[in-house]
Amino acid sequence: MQITAQMVKQLREMTGAGMMDCKKALQEADGDFDKAVKILRERGLAKAAKKAGRAAKEGIIHAYIHGGGRIGVMVEVNCETDFVARTDDFKNLVNDIALHIAAYAPRWVKREDVPEDIIEQEKEIYRKQALQEGKPEHVVEKIVEGKMKNFYKENVLLEQPFVKDEDKTVEEVIKEAIAKIGENIVVRRFVRWELGEES
């Protein structure tokens, strides 16, 4: 199929990818736009994975107030350059992350941040529950594993379904932003306050 300049332009507008990348994706997909978008996304995420190891020391600290002053969030998100930190794409991403934290109340940024004693405590609770329900020993560990996955999904920011698109995790949204922006992006830390809660 003949790939026209108009088709390449249209795909570029849809995805923000480079002209040559769009042309190659369209050729590979025989002019099918949905397939071409999928190819570009997969390539972008692969590139994003390579960028994830790079140092991110710039960025912004963003404050977000929600629910008429009932919930407050402060989040630090880092990128590689102050140029990117000043872009609307980056600022919008940071605001979306803060909004997500306000709505979903995660306790930690990533799985590695969860203290070992809390992990053991949760596993012990799930083990006891499974045994009390009369589950056989050899099934108990699988049940504990499954419940721990849910525990992380409920409490770890990067593993939670994203507030604006629950088909993606927060981590996937960040990886897509890395692919689009072209720099590593890291959520460094956050705090969330709710009016009247015990500290």
Question: What would the pLDDT profile of 68-121 be if each residue is shown by its tens digit?
Answer: 899 999 999 999 989 999 999 999 999 999 999 999 999 999 999 999 999 999
Domains 5-51 and 58-109+156-194 alike in fold: no
Q: Which residue type is seen at 78?
A: N
Range 115-155 classified under CATH 3.20.20.80: no
Report whether 75 contacts 61 (CB < 8 A). yes
Per-residue pLDDT at 181: 87
Q: What is the pLDDT of residues 10-61, one digit of tens each?
A: 887 776 677 788 888 899 999 898 888 888 777 765 565 555 566 678 999 9
CB 159 within 8 A of CB 169: yes
pLDDT value, residue 183: 87
Q: What is the CATH number of domain 5-51?
A: 1.10.8.10
What pLDDT score does 136 carry?
86
What residues form DSSP beta bridges with 72?
A: 65, 193
Could you say which architecture CATH assigns to the domain 58-109+156-194? 2-Layer Sandwich (3.30)
